[in-house]
Chains A and B, each alone.
Chain A
Amino acid sequence: MAETKTVDDETRTDGAGGLRGVDPDTALRLMREMLLYRRFEEKAEEAYAIGKIGGFCHLHIGQEAAAAGSILALDEGDYVISAYREHTQALAKGIDAGAVMAELFGRATGCSKGKGGSMHLFDYERRFMGGHGIVGAQVPLASGMGWKIRYRDEDHVVVCFMGDAAVNQGAFHEALNMSAVWNLPVIYVVENNEYGMGTAFSRVSRTEIHEKACSYGIPTSIVDGQDVLETFVAFRDLAAGVRGGGGPRFVDLRTYRFKGHSMSDPVSGTYRSKEEVEGKVKNADPIATLRDVLLEGGHLDQESLEAMDSEARTTAQEAFDFADESPFPDPSELYADVYAELGDGRMFFDGRERPEGSV
């Protein structure tokens, strides 16, 4: 039976001004990042409302610590792969805010050249491997990236994010089993925000999230994903364990979504009450939590905080402006990138003339 553990009390309370052993510079960086994610997502919400962003758009507001605390604890060479609520994870992996916003706008300067959109953000160089829209289907892909790391005897790890609903998919179970059998360097992270779209997890599972990996013999942690310091420490340690050949890990990262499932879903209503959401916003806002720690510990004053926030707002606005001023993809892009190259034989059967300049 795999061990299930929560981050222990010692970690929660240890000194350094309540920073749990995280150095002040890192704590301030986490704050800056989370502010950027919040302001970025608010700007995306605004852009969606005025029709700049189309299709589906899933905001990460409320879950900023889950992105910052985990991804900032990784090395540059580590892989991150996720589902479709991934804007802030892309930012955390170092993709420029303008390139992310431009992708949401469907512009040529987007990180996927405007061809992926909100749910398919990619950056190969930064090892941000998407942005995937089929629930749970990215989990075997992560195992494959772990396979590559092991195949080439590299020292990287893969962090695979998924929502809580993914744990009921077959792909999830098949992938965890293989990663365990082959000792692959993957940290599977369930961003447990309690609801798969509008269905409470407790309505679709008799067991808890943290129990799901036990039958594969994968060590499991429960981490407070609203506490960025706890999350950071947990992922720093997990990554170190996996890097040393320790095999896969599983994390029940407990968090909460402050907005609707997507832009078409009201914040509260049919499946969760206004009181529930307001209670979480009031008591479990990851940014407010870290802010209080930093202010109380004297690592930050009100003025610097406001400057930090103002900088985040500016970056978000600049991302908006960059996206808005960027061109749409050239028509020749329609047929580009379906295949790496065209050789003998016909590839496209739609009977259309391909735009000039296309492959």
Chain B
Amino acid sequence: MAEMTYREALNQALREEMERDPDVFLMGEEVAEYDGAYKVSKGLLDAFGDRRVVDSPIAELGFAGLGVGAAMAGLKPVIEFMTFNFSILALDQVINHAAKIRYMSGGQIPCPIVFRGPNGAALQLSAQHSQACETYYVHAPGVKVVTPATPADAKGLLKAAIRDPDPVAFMEGELLYNMKGDVPDDDDFVIPLGVADVKQEGDDVTILTHGKTVHVALQAARKLEKDGVSAEVVDLRTIRPLDVETILASVRKTNRAVYLEEGWSFAGVGAQIVSLVQEEAFDWLDAPVVRVTQADVPMPYAKNLEQLAKPSAERVVAACNRVLYR
């Protein structure tokens, strides 16, 4: 084990996969000479040269599409969006092309590509720079969606995403880049997609979540513990493929569940999970499943309003108490 930041873990994953496979290249805004807007690609230009670490023009639709075309022709692009907010410009290339090429070509044309970058809100960046975009991506069959919450998950899952034969949206947490954690040293440390992780075991209620809000859930679990409530925190890690077994096993154990996510509620990830839980574990539930999401408004700038808009540990505690009828 080595202690490192989430940022360093991502950097290591990129470096190792680029060393492993000459077809892997990184393209995006400021990834090369600037070392990445969030320094995730620091040093990669020096290590791999400007053929494989490429500064693009600010043209999300264009360079995402170029990546898809390169993947169709046999390369393994990693396309960095400076943030997923800007990826909305590129959605046509992801949803209409990357996700569908294999299917509409009858299985002939591959599309092994990773779209990665920070997703969700940071601090006071207001409406256009504070969006959780996973719903847009997870909605379309053909795309995989990965949301690592810790340095170890960031490394192991990014390596898996780059090796994956299908398009992967790899959504990082902007506020997690400086977070430290233990990461296995093994060069071949790969976490398979589709395997959830129980971040904390508990018996009374299950908090299901993904990405950055795993840490909000853990905070809520600590608060609940002081009240004598044992909460289990299940981190989906990947939303598609989805580890349904782990979700259902936890719900069947605790009989109560809360879904926590950064995004909006309507047709959010939680909506899908609630649907699944009621359909496949209805008889085990002792209370309706409750969701904690961002307020149904664009993200405001003012600090107090932003705090009100974001899902908080307090809201999670309240939701847990609700399903516990406390």
Contact = CB atoms under 8 A, between A and B. Distances in A.
Interface of A: 79, 81, 110-116, 120, 122-124, 129-134, 137, 139-149, 151, 170-171, 173-175, 177-178, 181, 336-349, 351
A345 B243 contact: yes
B59 A177 contact: yes
B272 interface: yes
B59 A178 contact: yes
29 contacts: A81-B69, A112-B104, A112-B106, A113-B107, A114-B106, A116-B104, A122-B105, A124-B108, A129-B73, A130-B104, A140-B69, A141-B68, A141-B69, A148-B70, A151-B75, A171-B62, A171-B93, A174-B57, A174-B62, A174-B65, A178-B62, A338-B102, A338-B142, A339-B102, A339-B165, A344-B195, A344-B243, A345-B243, A346-B241
B295 interface: no
B326 interface: no
Contact of B69 (A123, A143, A336): A143
Contact of A115 (B74, B103, B165, B279): B103
Nearest to B54: A182
B93 A140 contact: yes
Nearest to A112: B106
A140 B112 CA distance: 17
B28 interface: no
Instruction: Decide if the interface of chain B is mainly helix, strand, loop or mixed.
Output: mixed
A137 B65 contact: yes
Given A111-B106, A115-B105, A137-B92, 7 more contacts: A116-B104, A134-B92, A140-B65, A174-B59, A339-B166, A344-B194, A344-B195
Q: Which bracket fits the contact residues of B? A: 35 or more
Instruction: Decide if the interface of chain A is mainly helix, strand, loop or mixed.
Output: loop
A177 B57 contact: yes
A81 B73 CA distance: 11
B221 interface: no
B222 interface: no
A175 B96 contact: no
A348 B77 CA distance: 25
B290 interface: no
Nearest to A116: B104
Contacts of B77: 144
10 closest A-B pairs by beta carbon, nearest first, are: A144-B69, A345-B194, A140-B65, A174-B62, A345-B241, A113-B106, A344-B194, A141-B69, A340-B165, A337-B107
A178 B66 contact: yes
B285 interface: no
A343 B242 CA distance: 11
Given A137-B93, A174-B59, A347 B65 contact: no
B72 interface: yes
B244 interface: yes
A122 B240 CA distance: 27
A347 B66 contact: no
Nearest to A142: B69
B63 interface: yes
B193 A344 contact: yes
B101 interface: yes
A145 B73 contact: yes
Contact of A120 (B92, B104, B194): B104
A347 B241 contact: yes
Contact of A129 (B109, B141, B142): B109
A123 B61 contact: no
A148 B62 contact: no
Contact of B105 (A116, A177, A345): A116
Given A137-B65, A337-B107, A130 B101 contact: yes
Contacts of A337: 102-103, 105-107
B6 interface: no
B194 to A, nearest CB: 2
Contacts of B73: 79, 129, 144-145, 148-149
Q: Which of B103, B110, B165, B238 has the most CB of A within 10 A?
A: B103
Nearest to A121: B105
A222 B243 CA distance: 56
A147 B66 contact: yes
Nearest to B160: A343
Contact of B272 (A113, A145, A349): A349
Nearest to A344: B194
B165 A144 contact: no
Contact of B108 (A122, A134, A173, A338): A122
A129 B77 CA distance: 18
Nearest to A153: B51
A120 B166 CA distance: 19
B92 A336 contact: no
